[in-house]
Amino acid sequence: MDTGLLVIQTLNGLQLGVLLFLLAAGLTLVFGIMDFVNLAHGSIYMLGAFIAASLTRLSDSFVLGVVLALPVVAIVGLVLERVVIRPLYARDHLDHVLATFGLLLAIDTLAHMIWGPEGISVLLPEWLRGQVEVLPGVIFPTYRLVIISSGLIIAVLLYWLVNHTRLGMLIRAGASNRTMVSALGINIDLLFTGVFAIGAVLAGLAGMLIAPITEAAIGMGNDIIITAFVVIIVGGIGSMKGAFIAAMLIGLIDTLGRSYLDGILKAFMPLTAAETAAPALSAMLIYILMAAILALRPQGLFPPRTR
């Protein structure tokens, strides 16, 4: 096996994993604390990409574009929570799914109205466009390494926020027992709004980070949001640690499956059968994993200790 290729594909898998984690972190917080299913989370990812793309063009700097886009996405999250999401907390999951599906259609179309049907490419600054030799003879784009490291830094920050700050304590308490937290005099509405905005910023950031690679496009969030749901279910709903491990796992399985399943199947199947089965199976791999986990261990791999 070609070690260089394996290293590159592993890094690609980690990059996907990091993006999934940024999406899943918000999703699992909102789900864990407010018991709210948000299909429109992927639309915030898309909005992040578009807003950063526009601001990058205005400011002529990708870094500045991202820094300016983050508060804008936070405001979008705040407004959404106040106007659409809040009345839904008391409803059942069916209503959550339907209303946020409607929200997704509306946001996608709004983006279409504002930015047009074409995708918008995002230009990276010179110093991010190069490549790095990660191992002797193995080169990897600098920017993708930046994505991986910023994702890991944010994971550490989130870990610190959730486990070592007062806000994090409230978040964990809210996830275990909402009623008790509000009975102790905590403004639970404000906490919910804050958590939703944090989730929106993380999702928006994921969209901003991927935009220079894929470009900002209408509907870009609609596939990855489903994968992010797979992540939080595999990891255990409400668990930040679970979301991180599952995101990395699924990023790696998906990427490595697509590149190596072909070869593995050829080892014990006729050539043509393997060539037909491999792409189908590799695309289905993460869903098979999720179905297996739901059937055998429905609470996920790392469920939060108290629910």
> Which residues sit at the interface with other proteins, rule CB under 8 A?
31, 37, 39, 84, 87-88, 91, 93-95, 97-99, 101-110, 112-113, 222, 226, 229-230, 233, 237, 276, 279-280, 283-284, 287-288, 290-291, 294-295, 298
Q: How far is the CB of 254 from other proteins (least distance, A)?
A: 11
Q: How far is the CB of 286 from other proteins (least distance, A)?
A: 9
Q: Residue with structure tokens 């939080």?
A: 232
In the complex with other proteins, which residue's Cβ is closer, 56 or 100? 100
Q: How far is the CB of 83 from other proteins (least distance, A)?
A: 10
The Cα–Cα gap between 239 and 265 comes to 35
Q: How far is the CB of 103 from other proteins (least distance, A)?
A: 6
In the complex with other proteins, which residue's Cβ is closer, 141 or 304? 304
Q: How far is the CB of 87 from other proteins (least distance, A)?
A: 6
In the complex with other proteins, which residue's Cβ is closer, 167 or 284? 284
Task: Taking the CA atoms of 290, 292, 293 and 298 in sequence, report the sign of the dihedral they define.
Answer: positive
In the complex with other proteins, which residue's Cβ is closer, 61 or 259? 259
In the complex with other proteins, which residue's Cβ is closer, 106 or 153? 106
Q: How far is the CB of 169 from other proteins (least distance, A)?
A: 26
The Cα–Cα gap between 98 and 39 comes to 9
In the complex with other proteins, which residue's Cβ is closer, 60 or 92? 92
